[in-house]
A and B are shown apart, each in its own frame.
Chain A
C-alpha cells in the first residue's frame, strides 16, 4: 500500500476543510471580528498546512488500488472529523474535548445532534462553521477530493466505486467525470434554491444560508435553540419539507429529470415507495396526535406531523415541536422512519428506502416461492430482474444494520440510559438522523448530559452509519487477505 498516495489525497480533503474554516473566519470578520475569528483562522491555517504538506513531497499518481481507495476514504473522513474539532477546542466554552468530538462528527456525518445547550450564544463565525461541517460531509469528503483531484480516470472511478454504494450505482450510469458533475450540480442547485426560497419566506440572510447548507446535506444543525420552531412560520416549514424531500431523493434521477425535462424521478418505484411511506406515516401520526388530544387541531396536527416525519425520514433532524410529548404510537412510527430513511444516491444514511423496498419485494417473492415451489419467481425493479447477489447483499446489510443498532443500544443502556433513549439514540446515530427520544428527547434538546464515553461511542457510530457497514468491514477483510 502506497502511503504517499493516501496521504496526498487525504491532504486534499483537509485542504477542503481548511477552505471552509477560512470562509467561517471571513464570516466572523464580517461580524465585526467576533471572538470566534482567531480560533477559526488558526484552525484554518493548521488544517491547510497539514493538508498541503503531503502535496509538497508526494507526486501525483494516476493508479490507485481498491485498498488504497478505501484507506483514503476512511482516513479522510476520520481526519476531517478530527480537524473539524479544532475551532471548537480552541473556542472552549461548552466544548470540552469529548463534546468537540461529538459536535464535529455530528456535523461531518450530517447527523445534526448537538451537545450545545445554548446555540444562540455562539458567535456567527462558529455557527457558520457548524453548518459548513454538514456541507462538507453531505457530499462526502471523497467527492470533494474527486472534484479537485488533478488526475483523471482510474483514480476517480476507484474511489467512486467505494463511496457510492451498490444500489445507487445502478442509477449513476455516467462516466466518473460526469458523475461528479451530476452530484455537484444537483447539490449546488438544491443549496441555491433552498437559500433563495427561505430568504423569500422571510428568513434573515444569515439564517437562510445556514439552514440551506444544513438542509442540502440533510444535516439538521440549526442556529436557533428551538430549531425551526423559533421562526413560527408555516411557510418556512413547507419550504423545508420540500427541500428535505428533494435532498433525500436520488441525485442522479433528479439530474436526469431536469436534463430530460421529464418526471423521471417520480416514475422510479423506490421514489414512489419513499414518498408513499412519508404519506402513510405522516397521516398515521397526524391521526394519532388528533385522537390522543396532544394536538387537537387537524391542520396543526398535519403540519407538525409531516414536518417531523420528513425531517426524520430524510435524516435531517430539524424540529418544529417537542416530540417527547407525542404518544408512543407516533414515536414508534418515527423510529421506523429513522431506520428506513431516504433514497440511495442522496446524502441520507440509514437503511435507505431502496434496501427496504428490495427486502420487501424479495420477501414477497420468497412467499410466492413457498406457495408455488415449481414456479420461477424473480424480483423485478423497473421491469428488470434484480441480481440475486445484490438481493443477498441487501438482505445481509439490513440484518447487519439491525444487529449493530441493537448492540449499540445495549451498550448505551449499560451506561444507565433508559430503554427508549438507548434504542432511539442508537437508531439516530446509526442513521445520522440527529434527534432521539427519551432523556435527550426531541430535536430541540442536547446530548450534553450523556456520559462522556457514550458521546465518544456515538461519534464512532455516526461515522459507521455515514460510511456504511460494508466499507468498515471491507477494511478488515482486505487487511486479513493481505496478512
Chain B
C-alpha cells in the first residue's frame, strides 16, 4: 500500500501534542509575565505613593509647628516680654517657615493637596504682611501692642492655621484614597495569576479529554479490532474520526487483516 504523506494542514500526533503543550506553555508564560509586570508596577507604585503621602503629611506638620513657634515668638516679643525687638526674636523661625514653604511644591502631588497648599500660601502671605507691622507696633505701649496682636494679627493667624489644618487633613484623606488604589493594585497583580491558573486547569482537562478522545481511544479501538479478529475471527471494521497517523495505522491494519484473510482463504481453498 502506498504510504500517505501527512500534509502540513493535517497535523500529526506529534505535532498535535506539541502544539497542545505550546498552548499551555504560552498561557503560563504570559500570565506569569503579566503577573510579574503588574506586581513590579504595583510595588513601585506603592513605595512611591507611601513616600509621597508621608512627605506631604510631614511637610504639613512641620509647617504647622514652625508657624506656631513664629507666632508664639511674636507674642513673647510683643505681649508677654516686650524687651526684645520681634524681628530679632523670630528671624530664625521666619527662615524656617520660608524653607518649609519652599518644600511645598515637591511635597504635595495631588490636585487637592496642591489647592490646599495654595490656600495656605495665600493665607501665609496675608499673615506675613500683617506680621511685618510688628517692628512699628513694638514701639507702642503695652495696650497698643496687645490690641494689635489679638485684634489684628491673631485673626489672620487663625485663618492661616485653619488652612494648614485643612492641608493636613487633605494629606491624610489622600492616604485613605491611596490605600484604595493600593488595594486595587494588589487585586490587579493577583488576578492574572489566579485567572490563568483557573484557565490553565481547564486547559489541562481539555488536553486530557482531547488526548483520550483523539489518541488513546482510537488506539484502543484499533487494538480491540485486532483482538476481535485474532481471537474471535471477527472482521476488522474500525472507523476513526481523525486524519493523522492513527488513521494511517487503522488503514494499514485493515489492509494487513484483509491480506491475511485472503491468504487464509487461498490456503483453505
Does B175 belong to the interface (CB within 8 Å)? no
| Consensus secondary structure, chain B interface | helix
Name the residue on A nearest B11 (C-beta).
A56
Contact of B196 among A42, A52, A93 (CB under 8 A): A42
B27 touches A45 (CB 8 A): yes
Contact of A93 among B184, B202, B203, B243 (CB under 8 A): B184
A182: which B residues are within 8 A, CB to CB? none
* Alpha-carbon separation in the docked complex, A59 to B244 (Å): 9
* Alpha-carbon separation in the docked complex, A74 to B65 (Å): 69
* Alpha-carbon separation in the docked complex, A306 to B11 (Å): 57
Contact of B202 among A2, A38, A50, A57 (CB under 8 A): A50
CB distance from B35 to the nearest CB of A (A): 9
Total contacts A to B, CB within 8 angstroms?
78
A53 touches B31 (CB 8 A): no
A54: which B residues are within 8 A, CB to CB? 206, 210
* Alpha-carbon separation in the docked complex, A89 to B187 (Å): 10
Does B191 belong to the interface (CB within 8 Å)? yes
Does B179 belong to the interface (CB within 8 Å)? no
CB distance from B111 to the nearest CB of A (A): 15
CB distance from B85 to the nearest CB of A (A): 56
CB distance from A461 to the nearest CB of B (A): 26
Return 19 A-B CB contacts under 8 Å, by A number: A35-B188, A38-B34, A39-B191, A41-B34, A42-B196, A45-B27, A45-B30, A46-B27, A46-B31, A46-B199, A49-B23, A50-B202, A56-B210, A57-B20, A57-B210, A58-B210, A86-B195, A90-B191, A92-B187
B195 touches A53 (CB 8 A): no
B19: which A residues are within 8 A, CB to CB? 56
Does B26 belong to the interface (CB within 8 Å)? yes
* Known contacts A49-B199, A50-B203; 19 further A-B pairs (Cβ under 8 A): A4-B214, A38-B37, A38-B38, A38-B192, A42-B30, A42-B192, A46-B27, A46-B31, A49-B26, A53-B20, A53-B206, A56-B20, A56-B210, A57-B16, A57-B214, A58-B210, A58-B214, A92-B188, A92-B191
* Alpha-carbon separation in the docked complex, A54 to B38 (Å): 30
B206: which A residues are within 8 A, CB to CB? 50, 53-54
B residues 172-210 touching A (CB-CB < 8 Å): 184, 187-188, 191-192, 195-196, 199, 202-203, 206-207, 210
A59 touches B243 (CB 8 A): yes
Contact of B210 among A38, A50, A53, A86 (CB under 8 A): A53
Mask, A1-22, CB within 8 Å of B = 1, is 0101000000000000000000
**Chain B residues within 8 Å of A, Cβ to Cβ:** 10-11, 16, 19-20, 23, 26-27, 30-31, 34, 37-38, 184, 187-188, 191-192, 195-196, 199, 202-203, 206-207, 210, 213-214, 241-243
Mask, A39-74, CB within 8 Å of B = 1, is 101100110011011101111000000000000000
A45: which B residues are within 8 A, CB to CB? 26-27, 30-31
* Alpha-carbon separation in the docked complex, A50 to B26 (Å): 11
Mask, A88-112, CB within 8 Å of B = 1, is 0111110000000000000000000
CB distance from B255 to the nearest CB of A (A): 22
* Alpha-carbon separation in the docked complex, A53 to B37 (Å): 26
B23 touches A46 (CB 8 A): no
* Alpha-carbon separation in the docked complex, A93 to B184 (Å): 7
B23 touches A56 (CB 8 A): yes
